[in-house]
Structure 1
Amino acid sequence: MKLHNHGITLMTLLGLAISGCKAQEPEVAAPAGTVKSATGVVGWRTDGTGEYPDAKAVTTFSDSDNVVWKTPLPGTSNATPVITGNRIFVCSEPTTLICVAKDSGAILWQKTNNYDEVAGANGNFPQTHSHNGQSSPTPVTDGQRVYVLFGTGVVACYDLDGNRQWATFLEKSTDGWGHSASPVLSGDTLIVHILNVVGLDSGSGKVKWRTPASPKWGSPALANIGGQDVVITPYTGDVIRVSDGKKLASGIAKLQYATPVVDGDIVYFIEKIARKVRLRPDGNGIKAETLWTTKIKGSRHYSSVVVDSGLIYAASREGHFAVIDDETGDVLLQEPLNISGGTNIVYSSLTLGGKYLYIGSVDGVTVVLEPGRAFQEVARNTIEGYRSSPVFDGDRMYVRTFRHLYCIGN
């Protein structure tokens, strides 16, 4: 099953180098074009699904094999790379947005967004955990501008050449573990969820509406239900209308760490307790129908799932891999990935690159699996550790590790 967000495009949670240093030259020119996106909007996991069915990436790689280029970055980050044209946007601790050339890996520009650079922002940065930092949210772009949110509460907009269009301070996270939810863009509304769900005018940064909803760490997800663009909050399970911020439903399901995956009117809330929910218009609101509930191994699921061809693929933080039947909710397979590194191993969301599943880890081990009802390991590769999610473009895979941005391919 190919997932779509019906005309709207959508981290999961969760290296030091001299900034501006040159990347090594590529062995082969990278492919032209932009990663798939129905509307031209590209954000976390590109369109939120983590699926790249046309990708033709390699399945084996290391620090020395099948690396086209590797660019040192000034600090670490968990944000996923975002690609538009020949530009890749990544983040760096604590408040830096970086633009990298897709064909060469050269850093084109980088901009900080500190409190002394943004009106209304002051004091100390909010408390966070070292695994999370302030730069976990993934940027989002419409191909003309790029929008970035930091755990500091600062939201900023740049054109593709690095000229700031606007920046604003919204509010500070009060969670001692920090903020990680990424912004999403629906039409001319940029939606962020720190303490409240806030709709900003994407052209000016002005607040259009503000709706109370308790946050955790997963990102909001976009959907279109009965012709209405809505945003779904992971933790409170609220369905909020994008046009005016009105809450159309509440408590449809709950995710503490991961992000819901949307397919039309179906929303998957997959963690230890996993639910499949259908949303339908109901008068002036939205009605939620739980189609099934099941349970899979793992104490926490930082990683968001892939749903494809009637199967749901999930991985817990400890590295328990599970396959769920999409129709019935039956758990078909539970298998350890056997990745070392303690309890918090898998933060990276699962990714379908062409014919294969890729599962990354903080130790830098990426397990490549054949999709299906049986556990079939294709390859096991090691680079630097990472918590971000890989993205694919043609025959290239791009991975933001703790210290570098990798371009992997033949």
Structure 2
Amino acid sequence: MPCRSTLTAGPFAAALFLSTLVLTVPAAAENWPQWRGPNANSISSETGIATEWSRTKNVAWRLPLPGPAGSTPVIWNDRIFLTSSVGSEEGADLVLIAANTKGEQLWQVKVGSGNKNARSSEGNSASASPTTDGKHVWVFFGTGVLACYDFDGNEVWKFNVQDRYGKFAIQFGMTSTPVLEGDHLYLQLIHGEMRGDYTVAKVIKLDKKTGEEVWAVDRPSEAIVENKHSYASPFIYDDGRQRFLVTHGADCTVAYDLEDGRELWRLGGLNGRSKFNQNQYDPTLRFVASPSFAENVIIVPTAKKGPVVAIRPSEGMSGDIASSEGAIRWVHEKTPDVCCPLILGDLAYFCRKDGKVFCLNLESGEELYYERTHNSQHRATPVYADGHIYLCARDGHCTVLKAGPEFEIVAENELGETITASPAISDGTLYLRTYEALYAVRAN
């Protein structure tokens, strides 16, 4: 899976060459096959995406949904897949829904039941996003049910990971989205089992076609209390020279070999007094925001008053890299708590839970601005398209920023429906999933 979030001379040259073929070769729509988009970096290469909308303005269609959820829809050609609870009550059914890009529901299948709501309905058991390879779609729910379906809604395989890998013990529910890469599915199950003085979690590789285990390894840490629980998701780092799985939670970030699951390196010291964090150990510093990556950098968020750490991954890194000067690019004292960082060219953007946004120079970590957008809770990860950054608040207010080193609000839009899912973009359309409906927003 490519991980570059910047355009180099090669892609620019290719784009210039391809522009001469527009009259004879139709442009292909970009799929959004997983949470955070085609390259798992929240970046779309599409242009002409709407920056203004309301419940009626620039809305191509609105598809009502059977219940609330925070999972992001995924799109492959003319198919859209999303998960949902059926109603908001505890114990409700959990379903996979397929629609088309005309806004018509094609089918809905029950995957399991037993929905649980997090505090004040901040989330529920349909928080992990689906993923697809164009032939099948994989879904994971907070109950532990993991399943694979074909595009017609036929079950290929299904099992509950709690039956295979142990019961969950996580305060606000399992929300981690599995990552699909090649013929395999990777999961991080960081939820609080204790073995002696260590928190034991699991990192797992499965055959995507059968659900059979390829490997499963323990992920020990010394995290305690609420910090044993992680709400973040794993990803594959690939810079053309090295490829590995990155997991995040329980006071540390850990990389694993894709072939055999052995630990390559870990970044500790993210909680408590260390070179990264001058605060006392915080037993509620659980990780929700996942790290983000571009070529030669991984940005690691923490939570609350914790730091952000930029890693410079290099071949041969091993052990705890916290003390390695060469591995650490910079440390910044502020962090997003829920929303993942967004890396664009030589800049990194961070949206905090209260709607404040800060922008850092990617090379040095220098803060270029720290400004407030909409004053409401933000849980959706920002996405980028065509020079703009899209931020969605829980109350349905979405802010569009101009990408660049200076803070500029381009538009502010109201839907008036709860949003905790990250936006998705495909074929000229911005998809916004609320607790009530799926919106397709297109510029006129």
What is the identity percentage for the equivalent residue pairs of Structure 1 and Structure 2?
27
1:262 aligns with 2:293: yes
1:266–1:215: structure 2 CA closer, same or farther, 3 Å change rule?
farther
Equivalent residues, number: 366
Give the Cα–Cα distance (whole angstroms) in 2 for the partners of residues 183 and 175 of structure 1.
17
The 3-state SS of whatever aligns with 1:386 is: coil
Per-residue deviation at 1:141? 0.8
What per-residue deviation string (whole Å, max 9, x for no partner) do you get for residues 161-190 of structure 1?
A: 111100011124311211111010121110
Larger mean CA deviation between 92-101 and 255-264 belongs to 255-264
Structure with larger RCO (C-alpha < 8 A, sep 6+)? 1
From 53, 65, 78, give the equivalent of 2:45: 53
Q: Which amino acid aligns with 1:209?
A: W
Match of 1:148 among 133, 139, 150: 139
Amino acid at match of 1:202: K
Root-mean-square deviation (Å): 2.5
Q: Which runs of 5+ in 2 are unaligned?
A: 7-25, 86-92, 191-201, 220-227, 271-285
Matched, 1:65 2:57: yes
Counterparts of residues 300-311 of structure 1 (less than 5 Å): 301-311=337-347
Deviations 1:144-165 (A, max 9, x none): 1111111111100011111110
Q: Say which SS state the counterpart of residue 233 (structure 1) adopts.
A: strand
1:138 matches 2:129? yes
Give the TM-score taking structure 2 as reference length.
0.77
Q: Work out the CA distance in 1 between the residues paired with 2:3 and 2:301.
A: 15
CA contact (8 A) 1:36 1:52 kept: no
Give the structure 1 partner of residue 435 of structure 2: 402
TM-score (norm 1): 0.83
Structure 1: stretches of 5+ with no match in the other structure? 7-30, 116-123
Q: Which moved more, 1:382-391 or 1:206-215?
A: 206-215
Comparing 48-57 with 175-184, greater Cα deviation is found at 48-57
Distance 1:312 1:3 in 2: 15
CA offset digits 1:174-220 (Å, max 9, x no partner): 11211111010121110112242111111100111112236501111
Specify the SS of the correspondent of 1:237: strand
Amino acid at match of 2:230: K
Q: Distance in 1 between matches of 2:329 and 2:40?
A: 22
Aligned to 1:393: 426
- 1:269, distance to aligned residue in structure 2 (A): 1.1
Aligned partner (choices 186, 200, 205) of residue 199 of structure 1:
205
Q: 1:373 to 1:78 in 2, by over 3 A?
A: same
Report the equivalent of 1:248: 264
Match of 1:290 among 328, 337, 353: 328
Q: Does 1:4 align with 2:35?
A: no
Q: Distance in 2 between matches of 1:395 and 1:5?
A: 20
1:50·1:352 contact (CA, 8 Å) conserved in 2?
yes
Moved more, 228-237 or 125-134: 125-134
**Quick check: 1:313–1:324 contact (8 Å CA) kept in 2?**
yes
Q: 2:3·2:238 contact (CA, 8 Å) conserved in 1?
A: no
Describe the SS at the equivalent of 1:282: coil
> Residue type matched to 2:95 in 1?
T
CA contact (8 A) 2:431 2:439 kept: yes
**What letter is aligned with 2:94?**
T
Letter in 2 for 1:295: E
Q: CA deviation at 1:91?
A: 1.0
Whole-Å Cα distance in 1 between the matches of residues 402 and 5 of structure 2? 25
CA-CA distance at 1:114 after TM superposition: 1.4
Check 1:192–1:308 CA distance in 2 against 1; reply closer, same or farther (3 A cut).
same
Greater helix share, structure number: 2
Runs of 4+ in 1 over 6 A off after TM superposition: 124-127, 283-288
Asked whether the equivalents of residues 189 and 242 of structure 1 are also in contact (C-alpha less than 8 Å), the reply is no
Q: Distance in 2 between matches of 1:61 and 1:283?
A: 47
Q: Which has the larger radius of gyration?
A: 2
